[in-house]
Structures are given as structure tokens and as C-alpha cells.
Amino acid sequence: MKKLILILCLILVSGFVSASQVCVLDFDYNNGDLNLLNHQISNGFSPDYKLSEGDYSVDSYNFENQRIRRINFDIPLTIFSDVSNEDIITGSVEKLNQVKFSLIIPCPEEIKELKINKGSEELIDIKVPTTSKKSGLLVWILVLIAIILIFLFVMFSLRKRDKFILNKHQQLQQWNQKRF
């Protein structure tokens, strides 16, 4: 019984662990030209960009056209390879001219647009679609229903156990009365 209650509690707590909204930006870089292939909003986790450096940047703007965040990045044009052959390890560095890559950045609901810049030159302007807050409300309603159902299940189980113990106690008393 205790294991069942623990499992139900873990399932309930796992409902509170939810991913935040992120914007996935897919790019194509070809000899100096950066093109946006696709962008989408999904649930997930974005990497920590606090220590980011690079020639390019993504600026997030809210509905009042205030910049919320700037994330700097570089185009991943370098491939490092290592090969081990018994006792010898060799490696190489390859520079690319063309690459497709993706950036995952935080995208809270107050973001209206993203701007991709190289230095002070604006390259790409992305309008972020507004997302529905109903999905978040639905999750909380489902969590509340799950809490109520777990509470009712636990109360029913405890009540059933108490009745079982009471019946056993009454049977034991009757047996003792007959015996003595």
C-alpha cells in the first residue's frame, strides 16, 4: 500500500516538472550567407547562453519593442575529429564553408519578435506567433483532478483497511467470548 501511494505521489510530482517554451531556429550558412530555413515554438529546455560569444546575435523583443535578451553565437564551421589506432591518437580540424545548424533559445510568451544580427547589421527578422495560454491552464486542471483522484483513492483504501481491521477485531472478541 505504501509503495502504491509513493508511486502515485511520484507520478503527481512529475506532472509539475514541465518544460518551458523554446524557439527552435534552423539555419543554412553558405559562404557568408545566413538563411533561416524554419522556426517553430515547442516545449523543451534551452542551453545556458550566459557565456556565449560570437559575431552573430539573436535579440528577443517584447510587445513594447523592448529588447529582453541578447544571445551571441558563432556559426559552427569547425569539425574536430580524433582517431585512435592502438597506441597512436591522430586528429584533424576541418573548416567548412557550408553548414546547416539549429539554435534553441528561450521563448517566453511575452516575446513578439526575434532579430538575427551580425554586428550592427540586421540580417533576419522573425515574427513569433503568439501561443495559447489555454494549454497551460488545461495542464493545471488535469493536475488538480489527479490530486483529487489520488486523495479519494487513498481515503477509500484507508477506510477499507480500517473496516477489515475492525471486522478482525470483532471476530477475535467473539472467539474469546465463546472460548472463555
Q: Where are the beta strands (DSSP E) in 45-130?
A: 56-62, 67-73, 78-85, 88-95, 98-106, 111-118, 121-127
Q: How confident is the model at residue 26 (pLDDT cuts 50, 70, 90)?
A: very high
What's the confidence (pLDDT) of residue 135? 56
The pLDDT of residue 51: 55
When pLDDT is cut at 50, 70 and 90, the band that residue 116 belongs to is: very high
Predicted confidence at residue 133, as pLDDT, reads 46
CATH class of residue range 21-131: mainly beta
Nearest to 52 by CA among 71, 38, 36, 69: 71
Q: Which residue did the predictor score with more confidence, 20 or 71? A: 71
Asked if the model's pLDDT at residue 97 lies above 70, the reply is yes
pLDDT of residue 29: 94
pTM, whole model, 2 decimals?
0.60
The alpha helices in the chain, defined as continuous H runs, are 2-16, 134-179
pLDDT at 61: 92
Name the one residue in this structure whose C-alpha cell is 517566453. 108
What pLDDT, in 10s, does the model give residues 140-161?
A: 787 788 888 888 888 787 777 7
Residue 159: predicted pLDDT? 77
Separation of alpha carbons 70 and 120, rounded Å: 13
Domain residue ranges of the chain, discontinuous segments joined by +: 21-131, 135-179
Instruction: State what percent of residues in the chain have pLDDT above 90.
Output: 18
